Amino acid sequence: MDFDTPQLVDTFDRRINYLRISVTDRCNLRCIYCMPRKGLPKLNHAEILTYEEILRITKVAVGLGINKVRVTGGEPLARKGILTFLEELSSVREIEDISLTTNGVMVADRLQALWDMGIRRINISLDTLSRKRYQEITSTDAFYKVWHAIEKAHELGFSPIKINMVVIGGVNEDEILDFARLTLNHPYQVRFIEYMPIGPIDFNTPSRFISTKIIKQTVESLGPLIPVKSDCFDGPAQRYKLEGATGELGFISPISDHFCGKCNRLRLTADGKLRVCLLSDLALDLKTPIRSGISDRELAQLIVKAVLLKPSGHQVERDASLIPSGQMSSIGG
Ligand code: SAM
Ligand code: SF4
């Protein structure tokens, strides 16, 4: 660690070194748990941060100690010019880890370019292994495109390749074992994510939520879960392996066992808000001051101010009225 680098530390003594950037609120899919079928009102072009603005914020944040960046959306690959942006981001020397979260539909042809710019870690969201169900969940017949992208990422050498499955009651909980079995002979990290109650209102019912405890119990019918030591790039997933498996399993429990005590992240939304907690609307607008001409020093002060707003943790599992109003597609997951 470079001790000369200023540190972002919040009032609960958590060091913040991770920035998630949502580059767009738009998406080519309409996952039932994330976006209403008719889509959401789109932000107009002027409301969205330009790539130059995002890079400026990122560089200032990096100067304060951010060294891990994830690019997400909406669907990041749906924004024009994304590869050039990622290339510029990759050239920021102090960022030790750049990764991408994508639905995988438009990534296959761009994997080589991502590889060439030094990106090695990729998260692909896939909630079912059935083509028909994929279409039902996303409104798009693109299962094989995503599967092909996963295979191609493996051929090119991306590692880890994380497959994110949001486990949702009445939608895909019957596929937990199929996803777990995938890791027996594929080198992927399958991550089971608890559904968070911030999806479209008509979709949100208590029965949608399946806890990590239940998911783990289901997986354990295949054999004991062997813990895997986490590394410095690990997020909140608890990692395990099945006996003899090539791949790994991850369990992410934002609701039942939230990891707020170890939270190290900030989220920059496509319209320039710096959100301090996924499950809270607390945020600081950076776009207006940037467009009014603030200096980098003042921008740095705003980022420090945002960090000091970070709450100790969310209370959503205790009080459903605290569910934030923002949409996952604009916050970026
Ligand atoms: N479009 C990209 C994708 O799907 O990977 C990136 C953005 S998406 C909002 C990021 C992640 O959030 C995805 O893995 C998605 O499955 C997850 N997600 C969306 N809504 C969710 C919810 N209500 N609960 C838990 N995860 C959710
Ligand atoms: Fe789009 Fe990702 Fe939301 Fe699905 S989860 S609608 S792919 S932003």
In a domain, 2, yes or no: no
How much is the pLDDT for 109? 97
In a domain, 51, yes or no: yes
In a domain, 8, yes or no: no
How much is the pLDDT for 235? 73
In a domain, 12, yes or no: no
In a domain, 11, yes or no: no
Which of 32, 125, 269 is the pocket-test mutation for ligand 2 (most atoms within 8 Å of CB)? 125
pTM of the model: 0.92
In a domain, 167, yes or no: yes
Q: What is the pLDDT of residues 144-167, one digit of tens each?
A: 999 999 999 999 999 999 999 999
How much is the pLDDT for 114? 97
Ligand 2: atom nearest CA of 74 is: 8
Report which bound ligand comes closest to the CA of 30. Answer: 2
Backbone angle region of 235, left / alpha / beta, with phi > 0 → left and psi within -120 to 50 → alpha? beta
In a domain, 6, yes or no: no
Which of 328, 329, 330 is the pocket-test mutation for ligand 1 (most atoms within 8 Å of CB)? 328
Instruction: Tell me, in angstroms, the distance from the centre of ligand 1 to residue 177's CA.
Output: 21
Length of the chain: 333
How much is the pLDDT for 282? 87
**CA-CA distance, 309 to 99, in Å (whole number)?**
26
Give the pairing type, strands 273-275 and 265-268. Answer: antiparallel
How much is the pLDDT for 200? 80
Domain containing 145 equals 18-331
**CA-CA distance, 203 to 238, in Å (whole number)?**
28
How much is the pLDDT for 3? 47
How much is the pLDDT for 159? 95
- Decide whether any atom of ligand 2 lies within 6 Å of the 27 Cβ: yes
- The answer to whether 70 and 23 are in contact (CB under 8 A) is no
> One-letter amino acid identity for 275?
R
Positive or negative CA dihedral for 162, 166, 171, 175? positive
Q: Which residues of the chain are modeled with pLDDT < 70? A: 1-6, 232-234, 314-333
Q: What is the CATH number of the domain that holds 152?
A: 3.20.20.70
How much is the pLDDT for 2? 47
Ligand 2: atom nearest CA of 27 is: 1
In this structure, the residue with its CA closest to atom 10 of ligand 1 is 333
Ligand 2: atom nearest CA of 28 is: 1
In this structure, the residue with its CA closest to atom 1 of ligand 1 is 75
Return the beta strands (E) in 77-217 as ranges.
97-102, 121-125, 161-167, 189-194
Give the total number of structural domains in the chain: 1
In a domain, 9, yes or no: no
